[in-house]
Chains A and B, each alone.
Chain A
């Protein structure tokens, strides 16, 4: 098992390296930052100075090397917009907000999604099952950004129960977390339902019943354990959804996280920040996948050998 994870780790590094090259290349190609930063009254001298300051006069490969070297030392560049703060500082500032949102969405999805799936499976072919399946289908068909807007309209503007945006109390967290989590709730519910239906028809569930165990125990202990593995596999895809969700939801709700930072920096062509954010998100994404793989191996005793 250890060699497996070493290999995965190596693959992660390669993917990261690839990503850094892509980001670097795209960043350099998005337009001349010098022109962006200077106004039309700037002189040629100003332009030359700024170019040198940003290191843009050196060959591209050298620029890339410098970039990597600095990155490894923790210097991810300085924002070229606004107040010229170090990119790393900006990220550190915004990261907690994103993590809070992501973790909340994850918890919400699991806490609602799994029981929903179990309920649907146990009451298979009744109206409960039908309603749950329809709800899950709807959940996976709604575009997240639109959902955010609609929820905002309903709960903030019309009903006034929750604030439209902002950051600070739990009430600010509700709408963004729900928007982000809905798709996952639906996906998890469907996976659990299918897994449970199969598990409930299995021989080992029959054996559990033969032992005289209560139906609750049979369902929640024996059947569920075996249905959770596909959910875990899905978690990998979940993190991809999370990243997309982060960018979109944070933008809609003006949530001060790195998703929104990524969007803004790309739109503003603030490429040091853009590079830094994209790389950070990539690292987090890959780490998350690695953790999922480890958890999967731990949970299924058949793989542990």
Chain B
């Protein structure tokens, strides 16, 4: 079996505050294989978006942000690449779809130009050829009337359309890995399904891998092969999607899944977890979920749990994982 296309090893993203370093992402490791879709799930603030950004070295550029660890894309470490190599990686090898379509597109340029700009960055192309490729990109994201729409400005499009354009920009140069950061959160429910189908088709057409950053397990169920669950900056469980839903090994995962309303059941109260995740300044010693865990034991509070493999492709960070 060949090496995974993307290998993230011990990634940490931190920033300096006063004389401490606080980590939003603390020792995260996972792999993504060619053509597969990995989900990265967690509550707001758990560090999943930051992880996604770090893969392309796009974390906020304040002077005191630091990245540690390795992000190996086809063997090359993104975190230590030179500028030129990084820019060639971005857009062509790895690309990203952002969350809010309202603000993702530059309001002063038309959408055709914005797509063309990305293409031009990675390949030489003359005028007519470029126009053809732009229209092609628009068609691939199923925007009707692509020829006339190419000259439109972002504010003239609906939210759903804008998000497709963002998708067009992302895939215009045929990336091998697409990171989708909560791409459907800002869309109407009716549009969400369409958009997810679109992403699935695009993936099928070009065999690109995807990393889906989301808080929505429904999306995970539809789109992903495997999934990582994040909590307080760490990955607490990694599994195949069906294994996760069938038998979540981490208590946090179980609680999250338990909170999903299911059709057919009579309306019981939705399970919710007491408390809230710890802030970076106040990380507890020992397991980070211990204060809220229904199965907490003394050891959990004292020592940080290691990552244990409990099955083929199923790992969990827990002293006393759930069984059955």
Binding site for B on A (CB under 8 A): 125-126, 201-204, 206-214, 222, 225-226, 299-302
Contacts and interface: CB of A to CB of B under 8 A. Distances in A.
Given A125-B63, A225-B109, 12 more contacts: A203-B99, A203-B104, A206-B104, A207-B104, A207-B106, A207-B169, A210-B90, A210-B91, A210-B98, A210-B170, A212-B90, A301-B153
A154 B11 CA distance: 58
B301 interface: no
A126 B61 CA distance: 13
B58 A212 contact: no
Contacts of A213: 87, 117-118, 121
Interface of B: 56, 58, 60, 63, 86-92, 95-96, 98-100, 103-110, 114, 117-118, 121-122, 153, 155, 166, 169-170
B153 A210 contact: no
A218 to B, nearest CB: 10
Given A226-B108, A300-B108, A301-B155, A212 B92 contact: yes
Nearest to A302: B155
A212 B114 CA distance: 12
B221 to A, nearest CB: 27
A115 to B, nearest CB: 20
Given A210-B91, A210-B95, A226 B107 contact: yes
A225 B96 CA distance: 23
A203 B108 contact: no
A19 B58 CA distance: 56
Given A211-B91, A212-B88, A212-B122, A203 B107 contact: no
Contact of B96 (A201, A202, A210, A299): A210
A211 B121 contact: yes
Contact of B118 (A201, A212, A225, A302): A212
List of 4 A-B pairs having minimum Cβ-Cβ separation, nearest first: A212-B90, A212-B91, A211-B118, A203-B103
A173 B98 CA distance: 51
Contacts of A202: 103
A150 B163 CA distance: 57
A202 B104 CA distance: 8
Contacts, number: 75
A226 B95 CA distance: 24
A212 B169 contact: no
Contacts of A201: 60
Contacts of A203: 98-100, 103-104
Residue with the highest number of chain B CB atoms closer than 10 Å, among A201, A204, A302: A204
30 contacts: A125-B63, A203-B100, A203-B104, A204-B103, A204-B105, A207-B105, A207-B106, A207-B114, A207-B169, A208-B106, A208-B117, A210-B56, A210-B58, A210-B95, A210-B169, A210-B170, A211-B91, A212-B86, A212-B87, A212-B91, A222-B106, A225-B106, A225-B109, A226-B106, A226-B107, A301-B108, A301-B110, A301-B155, A302-B153, A302-B155
B107 A302 contact: yes
Nearest to B106: A204
A209 B58 CA distance: 8
A206 B106 contact: no
B63 A206 contact: no
A211 to B, nearest CB: 4
B209 to A, nearest CB: 16
Nearest to B108: A225
B96, B106, B109, most chain A CB atoms within 10 A: B106
Contacts of B99: 203
B176 to A, nearest CB: 14
Contacts of A301: 107-108, 110, 153, 155
B87 A204 contact: no
A219 to B, nearest CB: 12
A226 B118 CA distance: 19
A300 B155 CA distance: 11
B98 A207 contact: yes
B95 to A, nearest CB: 6
Given A222-B106, A225-B108, A226-B108, A212 B121 contact: yes
Contacts of B89: 212
Contacts of B56: 210
Contacts of A300: 108
A206 B58 contact: yes
Contacts of A206: 58, 98, 104
Contacts of A212: 86-92, 118, 121-122
Contacts of B106: 204, 207-208, 222, 225-226
A210 B58 CA distance: 8
A173 to B, nearest CB: 34
